[in-house]
Copies of this chain bind each other. A is one copy, B any other.
């Protein structure tokens, strides 16, 4: 059997004509000799509506019941798509996450897939059915319905393709992976191939085409992923570990550029230069789940040091509270928070083999009079914090320079 997993997102299923369009595309695949297993999200903005509904009855919905509520969104989608396929003359059968046996662990609202049973799907496929599976949901050891967090349908699809040992096609409202978001940089080029490592860096930078965990999973199990449009039929982007991809990347130092406006720059000055104070601060931030990405510390003068770091905008209150407490113990200390910043990052496995990428990036920024407030690097990524009002100028300059 030539199984293929396809995933269609909520916007691809938002209306009846779109559901029928998706059904047609699935049938084409079936007629081309494949056995499709289709993973779907909730239709359009259903999930948002359900969340609003929950908050209309309580300010703090029970997480277990929230999962019970949200899971209905995908259940509606699978039923509707299966009806459309049956109507178009092709046997189809839908399964909830619980019915398939998508077993999860962890907390409600952000569960992780531990195991997926395959016998029900395989039996339905061997009976010539197109199989439709509710994404985003599973069932825990207590038989409670769980969800995987926003974008979790990607993870459902990739996980299914891993257990079914087949390719996974992610259809969405963009037609592939671009080096730069075309909304920011219209001449952006679509990538034919991208590696899992690059996708992971991009996902963590908020380039929201695919759910981060789905990439991790795909990378771990060496899945064959393909991202393309659910509307037109242009060639999309393959995500893999392939040597071929590396060769392309070797020619090109940078694969992608991402801009993240969800962080602020926090600067602490005149903090006593004692290791335990600094480490205690970061331990407290970690305990509060405040995700610190970039950190820089100056050499101490007169026993006092300056520290800057980036923090998520929506954790600002937690950070400020912590600082007020810290200032009581260390009155010499002062802090500023700069919200008018964006983090511009370039990503590329080619960096591993090509020195001087960082230098090239700083040259471009300096040449365009864009001040860099902070820098971090990983093996395949360089991120710079720059003023928010220079975002567009920086994107164009960097994308032009690296020919994205």
By the criterion CB–CB under 8 Å, are A80 and B57 in contact? yes
CB-defined contacts of A78 to chain B, threshold 8 Å: 68
Q: Identify which of B57, B64, B69, B120 contacts A20 (C-beta below 8 A).
A: B57
- Report if A79-B87 is in contact (Cβ < 8 Å); known contacts: A16-B57, A57-B16, A98-B98: no
Contacts of A20 in B (CB 8 A): 57
Bound CA span A16–B87, Å: 36
What are the residues of chain B within 8 A of A82 when measuring CB–CB? 62, 65, 68
Instruction: Using A99-B143, A143-B99 as known contacts, say yes or no to A65 and B94 having CB atoms under 8 A apart.
Output: yes
Within the complex, which residue of B19, B58, B72 is in contact with A72, where a contact is CB–CB below 8 Å?
B72
**Chain B: which residue is nearest A59 at the CB level?**
B87
| Contact with A76, one of B19, B69, B99, B120 (Cβ below 8 angstroms) | B69
By beta carbon, the residue of chain B nearest A82 is: B65
Q: Are B83 and A75 in contact (CB under 8 A)?
A: no
Determine whether the beta carbon of A54 is less than 8 Å from that of B83: yes
Residues of B within 8 A of A92 (CB): 62
CB neighbours of A99 from chain B (8 A): 143-145
Knowing A16-B56, A56-B16, A98-B98 are in contact, say whether A61-B76 is a contact too (CB < 8 A).
no
A86 in the interface (beta carbon within 8 A): yes
Bound CA span A93–B53, Å: 18
Contact of A60 with B87 in the complex, beta carbons under 8 Å: yes
Let me know if A102 is at the binding interface, CB within 8 A.
Answer: no
Specify the main secondary structure of chain A where it touches its partner.
helix
Contact B83 A58 (CB under 8 A): yes
Contacts of A68 in B (CB 8 A): 75, 78-79, 82, 94, 96
CB of B57 within 8 A of CB of A19, answer yes
Report how far A59 CA is from B16 CA in the complex, Å. 13
A19 to B65, CA, bound (A): 15
On chain A, the number of residues with a Cβ less than 8 Å from chain B's Cβ atoms is: 40
Chain A residues 93-149 with CB under 8 Å of chain B are 93-94, 96, 98-99, 120, 143-145
- Report the minimal beta-carbon distance from A16 to chain B, rounded to whole angstroms: 5
> Is A158 part of the binding interface, using a Cβ–Cβ cutoff of 8 Å?
no
A84 at interface, CB cutoff 8 A: yes
CB distance from A130 to the nearest CB of B (A): 12
Q: With a 10 A CB-CB cut-off, give which of A80, A92, A93, A120 has the most chain B CB atoms.
A: A80
Residue in contact with A84 in the complex, picked from B16, B19, B58, B79, CB distance below 8 Å? B58
Q: Give the shortest distance, in Å, between A340 (CB) and chain B (any CB).
A: 38
Chain B min CB distance to A34 (Å) = 22
Q: Which residues of B contact A60 (CB under 8 A)?
A: 87
In the complex, how many angstroms separate the beta carbon of A154 from the nearest chain B beta carbon? 22
Inter-chain contact A72/B62, CB cutoff 8 Å:
no
Interface code A274-292, partner B: CB below 8 Å = 1, 0 otherwise?
A: 0000000000000000000
A to B CB contacts below 8 Å, 24 in the list:
A16-B56, A53-B80, A54-B80, A57-B83, A57-B87, A58-B84, A58-B86, A59-B87, A61-B83, A62-B82, A62-B83, A62-B86, A64-B93, A65-B79, A65-B82, A65-B86, A65-B94, A66-B83, A68-B82, A68-B96, A96-B145, A98-B98, A99-B144, A120-B143
Contacts A20-B57, A57-B83, A68-B79 known; list 14 others, CB within 8 Å.
Answer: A54-B79, A54-B80, A57-B87, A59-B87, A61-B87, A65-B94, A66-B83, A68-B78, A69-B75, A71-B75, A72-B72, A75-B75, A96-B145, A99-B145
